[in-house]
Amino acid sequence: MPPTREGKPPVVSRPSVSIEEFTVSGPEAGPYGIAAGPDSALWFTLVHHGRIGRVTPDGAVGSYPLEEASGGPSTITAGPDGALWFTEFRGHRVGRITTAGDVTSYALPTPDAGPFGIAAGPDDALWFTEAGAGRVGRITTDGRITEFPLPAPGAFPSGIAPGPDGRLWFTMNQANAIGSVGLDGSVVVHPLPTPGAAPVGITAGADGALWFVEIGAGRIGRITPDGTLDEFALPDPESRPHAITAAGDGACWFTEWGANRIGRITPDGHIEEHPLPTPSSEPHGIAQGPDGAIWTALENGAVARLTTG
């Protein structure tokens, strides 16, 4: 068991923020993952319509169809090659889209792999989780794929992010653990102290630690490369935090899918929460945009832009 420290009780406040929503699709399309692109726009997945969308900071919207509408594009990230890379959870593929909208798709070698999280690694390749197959995969920008099995069967690996130690860190939703994988495929697993935490999103913080959300326990977690763990309880244990991203201000921002809020946590555990203006908007993916604002994909057919005042 890794060393653990109990997080201090959070302090909750609501500083002045402005939240603007942009309609990007019908509610049936399901905006889900979101990432800042190299073209000063935000790119997002439409999980139920099999499309990749694009929105500029001033609200101009476009989208591009994928080869199969039923592929379930889920998370998306900027690649080292100037394109956006995304997973297709139901189509068992990893996709690439250029800023001009040209799409390439790569089928995974393992049947029913269920790719979900994806992130650029320190080796100029993309690393992704295979939730259905219990593996972590690597794909080069020319489409060569390698897969690494995990030691815990049925772990349902979910989010993934590069760490400061040259390894890729990922959540193991059903194994209740955080894992890391080296560029050589070596895997280390860190069990979480809270039962049923069910971690999902993960990001590298500015403090040299990895920050993650515990959707099952209503907590935000922090783990250092040496395995030291902290957990910070949210005021609402049923808020179901889903995704998390590091921002330029040193804090991390996260979505509360079950509570219709966007939250912020500082490295010392100070928590702020901000309700979204539209009820039941189902916030999922979150990213800092090129404009410095925090952008969130809302499954009700919109994206939200949050700026602090």
pLDDT values of the chain reduced to their tens digit, one per residue, 309 residues: 344 444 544 444 445 899 999 999 999 999 999 999 999 999 999 999 999 999 999 999 999 999 999 999 999 999 999 999 999 999 999 999 999 999 999 999 999 999 999 999 999 999 999 999 999 999 999 999 999 999 988 999 999 999 999 999 999 999 999 999 999 999 999 999 999 999 999 999 999 999 999 999 999 999 999 999 999 999 999 999 999 999 999 999 999 999 999 999 999 999 999 999 999 999 999 999 999 999 999 999 999 999 987
Q: Check the annotation: does 273 bind a ligand.
A: no
Query: Residues 97, 52: contact at Cβ < 8 Å?
Result: yes
Question: What's the confidence (pLDDT) of residue 15?
Answer: 56
Provide DSSP, 217-270. TTEEEEE-TT--EEEEE-S-TTS-EEEEEE-TTS-EEEEETTTTEEEEE-TT--
Residue 146 lies in a domain: yes
Distance CA 186, CA 149 (A): 10
Q: Rounded to an integer, what is the distance from CA 212 to the centroid of its chain?
A: 9
Residue 235 lies in a domain: yes
Residue 42 lies in a domain: yes
Supply the CATH number for residue 258's domain: 2.130.10.10
Residue 287 lies in a domain: yes
Q: Check the annotation: does 88 bind a ligand.
A: no
Q: Check the annotation: does 282 bind a ligand.
A: yes
Query: Residues 286, 298: contact at Cβ < 8 Å?
Result: no
Strand 12-13 with 271-275, pairing: parallel
Give CB contacts under 8 A, 24+ apart, made by 176-180.
177/152, 178/202, 178/210, 178/212, 178/221, 178/223, 179/136, 179/150, 179/155, 180/225
Mind telling me the catalytic residues? 284
Residue 31 lies in a domain: yes
**Lookup: tokens for 57:** 């900071």
Question: What's the confidence (pLDDT) of residue 309?
Answer: 73
Residue whose C-alpha is closest to residue 179's, from 154, 155, 147, 205: 155
Neighbours of 142 (CB within 10 A): 8
Question: What's the confidence (pLDDT) of residue 5?
Answer: 46
Residue 7 lies in a domain: no
Number of domains in the chain: 1
Give me Rg for the CA atoms of the chain.
Answer: 18
Structural domain of 53? 17-308
- pTM exceeds 0.75 for this model: yes
Question: What's the confidence (pLDDT) of residue 153?
Answer: 87
Residue 4 lies in a domain: no
Summarize pLDDT for 230-283 with one digit per residue, the tens.
Answer: 999 999 999 999 999 999 999 999 999 999 999 999 999 999 999 999 999 999
Residue 264 lies in a domain: yes
Query: Residues 293, 57: contact at Cβ < 8 Å?
Result: yes
Distance CA 247, CA 253 (A): 7
> CA of 4: how far to CAs of 8, 154, 228, in Å?
13, 25, 5
Q: What angle do CA 2, 284, 14 make, to 5 degrees?
A: 85
For residue 295, the SS3 value is strand
